[in-house]
A and B are shown apart, each in its own frame.
Chain A
Amino acid sequence: MKILVPVKRVIDYNVKARVKADGSGMELANVKMAMNPFDEIAVEEAVRLKEAGVASEIVAVSCGEAKCQEQLRQALALGADRALLVETTVELQPLAVAKLLKAIVDREAPRLVILGKQAIDDDANQTGQMLAALLDWPQATFASKVAVRGEEIEVTREIDGGLETLAMTLPAVVTTDLRLNEPRYATLPNIMKAKKKPLETLTPAELGVDVAPRLATLKVEEPPARKAGVKVASVAELVDKLRHEAKVIP
């Protein structure tokens, strides 16, 4: 079984993003970039399915500028077999990415697509669901457990208030949640080997996909700041303040 794993290049999880002074977007110049953390979990899950003998090949794909090659090389170092970059400098919104991924699925015919539930830059949480819709495939979002049994995949999902389990016939789209697995680190020998693995570059035009944005970002502002309050010296003072000043406890 072939697995397709889409990965996104985003601001590093540990970097505090700042709004650009002109309000046109976020400041990304000279900011450390990385693979979206949920996509790392997706790569890890695919590698585990390959190690378990369920998957035969893992293809990583990324859409965006040429520098996305860094994230694809990371996916290759973690265990993907080859990579595809759909290169464009156009701002890609989730619907456009879903259409590009559908074109890749039509070409590659994977039985499973695993990707992160959301990217930590636009926080949209849409691409996997949109891809499943365009393909008319089943979807299981927010996965915390995945088990492939023949032509069926059983996925446990993190929903508000607990867990839900779905069984779906393959092919299917799965989006990853935090607890699905703990991604490994790439070893130095694997990083070296990844440099020799195939990485093919395509363009949206070659795939016949119109990626023009549907949403215009008019401006980006700082969120309203919350001012720091006071430090209290004791539990007694805290209780007194909550009771008489904030009036939030009886």
Chain B
Amino acid sequence: MVALDKSEVREGVDRETIETVKAMSGTYKYGWNTEIETEYAPKGVNEDIVRLISEKNGEPEWMTDWRLKAFRRWEQMEEPKWAMLNYPKIDYQDQYYYAKPKSMAEKPKSLDDVDPALLATYEKLGIPLKEQMILAGVEGAAETPAEGRRVAVDAVFDSVSVGTTFKEELKKAGVIFMSISEAIREHPELVKKYLGSVVPQSDNFFATLNSAVFSDGSFVYIPPGVRCPMELSTYFRINAENTGQFERTLIIADKGSYVSYLEGCTAPKRDVAQLHAAVVEIVILEDAEVKYSTVQNWFPGDAEGKGGIYNFVTKRADCREARAKVMWTQVETGSAITWKYPSCLLRGDDSQGEFYSIAIANNMQQADTGTKMTHLGKNTRSRIVSKGISAGKAQNTYRGLVSVHPKATGARNYTQCDSLLIGDKCGAHTVPYIEVKNNSSRVEHEATTSKVDDDQLFYCRSRGMDEEEAVALVVNGFCKEVLQALPMEFAMEAQSLVAISLEGSVG
């Protein structure tokens, strides 16, 4: 809540965003579904579907082959079972792997030609009108700069990137920010060089499936020495029913560059579970720095555990050269199932990885999330701050690996894992793995588990707050260190989300 105080006195904060966040009320706010005509590929996945996705994206042959190689590998793999997650078996042949809003087939000339349902979607998401035009692909809309908010947005609707804002301005700075399907066509040399270099095709079951069938996602390249002039943001939304979303994000920060990247996710309420298996790869070269922040608010399923998103995500940053730096910040409030471990490969000497996480699980949600810090270079440093909150009948697991290799002399890690329980039917679990293979490194681990105390709630209530406000206040206090790591606008949204996702968790 401290961030909230600051933001209201800070100048230049986008009022629209604040208002949108404030207006949030009720249960899952983003639970509407847009009536848009959608073009589907047939259900199921096989080599033909993989070829079709590649063809729909107008990809060159090398890309099609890359996908097929992944697909053949995937067919030999088995779904991992080690996580503390319990869900019905997923029938991978009962999903659509490609869905595209029909109106995207031809570029609209003006807003009048845009499918009004698509526009209404953006409006509900709180995206300003100017950016709605650009996202809807209105010709010429991108040339006149929008006022106020300085965040470039790439929106991915079901499987397809529907538009990227601020393209021209970014181009002037030399920054490439576009959908990955465009990048495959326009910058094949970069994509060829880096795609799969952090998360190899064969990495794990879900990443391999993603490599075969990813339909779109975002691509970022920051040239040497450039500080990206604005925050970049990708907005993911799953709309179509029975559709899996498999987006792929590739970020390359060249020597001495900096970028802050935001990712937001929502999906409509459906009583059938939906699959989401994304891959994010970040390559960070010498002296470069990347901040990657996520506010994940996929539909968590209803109170009985019906529906919701199954979120199996592979995110990894490779600090490939000396003094490279990455910071992951995540706020995970949604999804029925979360399987996610944003990781750092600290290869360059003196490189640094940080992971700040808030994972909230309420009702029947299950979260198994954490990070991997792999220390390979000398004097590499990592820091993990994880805050897990469980309410209702939810299960929340922190799973982390800190691995220090023989050559990583002088490496240091600090891990802090705090769990907060609300009620007596939920669970919190901490599973830290630590492997240290040299004797000049230092690894520290601290863990706590606490309950939201009745005395704290009564104290707040005796001062006039209702029970839900009281819980939100106490929980926001518990998460403070992580909320402070988020960019301002995200911190606002995250605070409200914390409150909303815990509604009905007491009393």
Q: Do A and B bind each other?
A: no
